[in-house]
Amino acid sequence: MDMSGSFEPVERKERLDFKEEGAQRAEINFWQDAWRRLKQNKAAIISLFVILFIFGAAFLGPLFSPYSYTRQDLIFQNTPPSAQHWFGTDNVGRDLLVRCLYGTRISLLVGIFATIISLTIGVVFGGFSGLVGGKVDNVMMRIVDIFYAIPLLLWVILLMVLLKPGLQNILLAIGITYWLSMARIVRAEVLSLKEQDYVLAAKAIGAGRMRIIFRHLIPNCFGPILVTATFNIPQAIFTEAFLSFIGLGISAPMASLGMLTSDAITGLRSFPYQLFFPAFMICIIMLAFNFLGDGLRDALDPRMRK
């Protein structure tokens, strides 16, 4: 049977359009596709802009204010929010808006640098454990399980009691405590990647373990590492706020959001705004980072790639 009449030749223009479309799709790599999917998550994008705005306000806002976070003026003691003092003043007449911005700066610095410390420890520990494997991996993971047996917040409180309150000490205490989840995630990723051909090729040419970890394995684990770090930042900020609230965090004259909430407790019934604004800042920061982390987790998941 002659079926040649059932087919129609494709026009040259249509073939070229098809080739151009295929070429454009082939040019989209993993990170471009992840950014495309992240932009489709409205909550994550809004959270990203909120975080950028908070960073800008915290680091640049106090420079444009006529008030200092340490300037006391008893004439304006416990003034409610007004056109002159948008967030009101505290019990010694200090502008609460400037103090909230400065406290946000300190809290963000604590969250970021504590996360960097925990990320460094967790990546090295988990990467080495997963690559070596065997008895070494078993012993290293049992160490992680021992630390996990006690709530991490108790470890931080114990370290702060031993180290005394202060910015550097709280960075150290949170950083060397909150690396456990990072270590487990990196180990799991390394266990799934270390049998790949490029890792076996690196071993064949004599590459050392640390070179394999940092040159070949860690870059391929960057997605889960980034997501975990994004979730660790608000966790570190909340931990610092709690420690400052109970008197084990930032020392005066520095102010963090946790210290501002602690100072406002005594006048809660008479001046509730003094507690509302720093507590509101903590909530906004934590929600923004958590929504952004959820968006990054979905965007960087290869199983959701279309």
Q: How many CA atoms lie within 13 A of 34 on its CB side?
A: 18
Q: Which residues contact 255 (CB under 8 A, 6 or more apart)?
A: 69, 99, 102, 103, 106
What is the arithmetic mean of pLDDT over 81-91? 83
User: Which of 69-83, 134-148, 189-203, 245-259 has the highest average model confidence (pLDDT)?
Assistant: 134-148
Burial grade of 221 (CB within 10 A; 0-12, 13-18, 19 or more): buried
What is the arithmetic mean of pLDDT over 134-142? 88
What is the arithmetic mean of pLDDT over 59-88? 81
| Cα–Cα dist 66/86, whole Å | 13
Residue 113 DSSP class: H
- Amino acid 249: pLDDT: 77
Query: What tokens does 156 get?
Result: 């931080």
What is the arithmetic mean of pLDDT over 110-122? 90
Residue 89 phi, psi (nearest 5): -130, 165
- Amino acid 18: pLDDT: 46
Checking if the pLDDT of 109 tops 80, the result is yes
- Amino acid 226: pLDDT: 87
Alpha helices in the chain, H assignment, sequence order: 12-27, 30-39, 42-60, 96-132, 134-148, 152-163, 167-175, 180-193, 197-204, 209-211, 222-245, 257-264, 273-299
Checking if the pLDDT of 279 tops 80, the result is yes
Assign 297 a pLDDT band (cuts: 50, 70, 90): confident
Model pTM greater than 0.75? yes
Question: Following DSSP, what letter does each residue of 158-190 receive, concatenated?
Answer: HHHHHH-SSHHHHHHHHHTTTTHHHHHHHHHHH
Residue 123 phi, psi (nearest 5): -65, -45
Domains belonging to the chain, first-starting first, are: 106-304 (1.10.3720.10)
Region at 37 (left for phi over 0; alpha for psi -120 to 50; beta for the rest) = alpha
What is the arithmetic mean of pLDDT over 280-296? 91
Checking if the pLDDT of 108 tops 80, the result is yes
Percent of all residues in the chain with a pLDDT value above 90, rounded to a whole number: 9
- Amino acid 92: pLDDT: 80
Assign 62 a pLDDT band (cuts: 50, 70, 90): confident
Residue 83 DSSP class: S
Query: What tokens does 31 get?
Result: 């990170």
Q: Which CA distances in Å does 77 have to 14, 18, 255?
A: 76, 72, 18
* Residues 101 and 61 sit within 8 Å (Cβ to Cβ): yes
Q: What digits encode the pLDDT tens for the residues 41-50?
A: 899 999 999 9
| Cα–Cα dist 208/196, whole Å | 16
